[in-house]
Amino acid sequence: MSEILAFRDARDWKQFHTPKNLAAALSIEVGELQETLLWKTDEQITESLRQTEKFNRIRDEVADVLIYALLFAEATGVDPVTAIRSKLQGNAEKYPVETSKGSALKYSELPSTPKS
């Protein structure tokens, strides 16, 4: 994280990094990540990941997504580790292992678990 901020600050870019701009940047990068997979089957993607050039492109897009997500977190005062822990805890309640195991249903569609 400190390296990302050092990069930003050396270029005096914090002035452009409003939450809205960073969220838009994040959205753009996710688009670019999706583009590396577009029109491909799952098998073709597995194959792409074995080719250095294509793998590196995907790796770079993942990096861009993470960089902007972390810059957004910094700009809004969110601590990434605390945020993830707190979200996983919330998800654990919404998706109990008993009812959600092996199921792709959204929590609102899951069978309710009896509370005894």
Q: Taking the complex as a whole, how short is the minimal distance between the CB of residue 28 and a second copy, in angstroms?
A: 4
Which residues 80-109 are close enough to bind a second copy by CB under 8 A? Answer: 80, 82-88, 90-92, 95, 97, 100-104
Q: Which helix (H) or strand (E) holds 69?
A: helix 52-76
Q: CA dist 67 to 10, 14, 52, Å?
A: 16, 14, 22
Return the percent helix, strand and coil in the chain, to nearest 5.
70, 0, 30
Residues 65, 53: Cα–Cα separation, whole Å: 19
x-or-dash string of contact with a second copy, 9-38, rule CB under 8 A: -xxxx-xx-xxxx-xxxxxxxxxxxxx-xx
Q: Is residue 4 within the footprint of a second copy (CB under 8 A)?
A: yes
Q: Is residue 53 within the footprint of a second copy (CB under 8 A)?
A: no
Q: Is residue 71 within the footprint of a second copy (CB under 8 A)?
A: no
For residue 21, with 0-12 CB atoms within 10 Å meaning exposed, 13-18 middle and 19 or more buried, which class applies?
A: middle
Q: Is residue 59 within the footprint of a second copy (CB under 8 A)?
A: yes
Determine the distance from the C-alpha atom of residue 36 to the mean position of all C-alpha atoms in its chain, rounded to a whole number.
16
Residues that bind a second copy (CB under 8 A): 3-4, 7, 10-13, 15-16, 18-21, 23-35, 37-40, 42, 45, 49, 55, 58-60, 62-67, 69-70, 72-73, 76-78, 80, 82-88, 90-92, 95, 97, 100-104
